[in-house]
Amino acid sequence: MRVDALGDFSIEIDWEFLKRNARESVEGTHKEWVKPLSEAAPLLVPIEVVAPPIPLDRLEQLDHMVAALREAGAQGTDESLIAAYGVHINPEVPAATPEVIHRYLRAFALLQWWLMDAHDLDPMRRITPYINPWPEAYLLEVLSLIAPGAGQLIDSYLAHNPTRNRALDMLPLFAHIDAARVQRAVDDPRVKSRPTFHYRLPNCRIEQSDWSLARSWHLWCTVETLAWDDAALDGLSAEFLAAQRPLIGVAHAAWIETVSQWLADRGLA
């Protein structure tokens, strides 16, 4: 569906298995169960609206779409014990250079535990594997890297995160930079190359009248803010690394409090 001044939107069933068999059906290897399965799919898997790239100064136009979907009966995270509906944000990277990407990796590493609290994640989404946080061993590694090159950034990430199922999925961006390198570690046709981050964390509560996409976007913007604050990046990184305890690691609750205070001191939370 084309929307004037924005571009082409699509509505998809987020089920690769069903889509693959539907393609086979079209190609001539028809399976009688594909049609009834597709009819039942909305009860089991999310139906997602996929938006084109939208400039920042036009994001508010999505509010009209949200209102129309709500009026039509759209349901969000709280309405399914199976599907774990969410909002995916794909911000374009300012520059696909190692220095810029490392800034964002460090910022998200420092903020991810706080973000998981701030988004008030639905319990079902917490226990599914789809939005797992980066493992703590990776946080320590990426915060310790000094002026890494692209290959080192990608290899480090893949060693700890060889999956799409992360709160911040870096595979699309790294595939954009070096597709062969990513494919050697992650054999998944769903990984699509694009110059964006793939932020999978937010809930979708579209059925609630006071919900909008703005809340999810504003929380992501804390990553943007920290990524370009050199003093804060260096200071918080050093504090995180110093907080590591043998065998136990970094205390999650204490670190969330540290981040909350840092944000409050700057009027960001």
pLDDT at residue 129, as a whole number:
86
Q: Classify burial at 33, counting beta carbons within 10 Å of its beta carbon; exposed 0-12, middle 13-18, buried 19 or more.
A: exposed
Contact 174, 149 (CB under 8 A): no
pLDDT at residue 42, as a whole number:
55
- Angle formed by the axes of helices 171-185 and 150-160, to 10°? 70
The amino acid occupying position 79 is E
pLDDT at residue 135, as a whole number:
98
* SS3 track for 84-114: CCECCECCECCCCCHHHHHHHHHHHHHHHHH
Tokens coding 55: 């400039």
- Pairing between strand 2-3 and 7-8? antiparallel
Contact 171, 164 (CB under 8 A): yes
pLDDT at residue 82, as a whole number:
58
pLDDT per residue rounded down to tens, the chain (269 residues): 788 878 999 888 766 555 554 555 555 555 555 556 555 555 556 678 999 999 988 988 899 899 999 999 888 877 665 556 789 999 999 999 999 999 999 999 999 999 999 999 888 888 888 899 999 999 999 999 999 999 999 999 999 999 999 999 999 999 999 999 999 999 999 899 999 999 999 999 898 989 999 999 999 999 999 999 999 999 999 999 999 999 899 999 999 999 999 999 988 87
